[in-house]
Amino acid sequence: MASCDLWLADLTLHGAHLAKEARANHALDASALARVEKSGRSGKARDLAASYGLLWRALGRPPALGKRIRRSETGWPVVPGGPAFSLSRTSGWAAVAVTGAGGVGLDIEALSGPEPSLPILAEVADLCGAGAEASPLAAFTLLEAWVKLRGDRLAAALATPGSGRELREAAMRARLEGRLHPLGYADQFTGHLWTETVSTAPRIRFL
């Protein structure tokens, strides 16, 4: 049966080591490496590199991963001939979803961050659960997961007429088919994982 693996890393504990692994094993492609170098020695640079270290682990520690990564027309990293994956990082955490069946979209956001106020979020807030789970931040992660699954960019999706209705219909269908999964960890982050074909819960691996 097709499956999806979700890797989660606490960057407070493992960020420095994952970033070192990413560099030592050439896991960053030219685009990611340029962004890391532009950020200098900041925590943002470490976390970006660490997310590629986590990706390297999630893909089975392939040699010279950075040289195999290509960028889609919208700038997302892909590995031709390899499994589909989606990266996300937020304050203190990195996440990678990997599946060999269809596409995948993933987004996590720290609960300590600001709440977004996009009008489209009202279309799907009730699909995120009840109470705190139905927050604009949770709805935003659902939106981002959908955008990533489609290989799109947020600005382009928001500019498309009827995107709110399309998102709601797609989310309702994905929930019924078991392809949309809310994520969360204690008081740290909220998120969503959205698969194209896999209809089982993701296998979660913590670092």
- Section 18-32 average pLDDT: 97
How many angstroms separate the CA atoms of 98 and 201, rounded? 13
Question: Tokens 């890797």 correspond to what residue?
Answer: 7
List, in sequence order, the alpha helices (H) in 64-180: 65-68, 136-149, 154-159, 163-176
How many angstroms separate the CA atoms of 39 and 192, rounded? 27
Residue 122 pLDDT level (bands cut at 50, 70, 90): confident
The pLDDT of residue 131 is above 60: no
pLDDT digits (tens, 9 = 90+) for 192-204: 999 999 999 999 9
Q: Which of 99, 70, 94, 71 is nearest to 84 (CA)?
A: 99
pLDDT digits (tens, 9 = 90+) for 40-97: 878 899 999 999 999 999 999 999 999 999 999 999 999 999 999 999 999 999 999 9
pLDDT digits (tens, 9 = 90+) for 141-193: 999 999 999 999 999 988 988 898 999 999 999 999 999 999 988 889 999 99
Residues facing 190 on adjacent strands: 109, 184
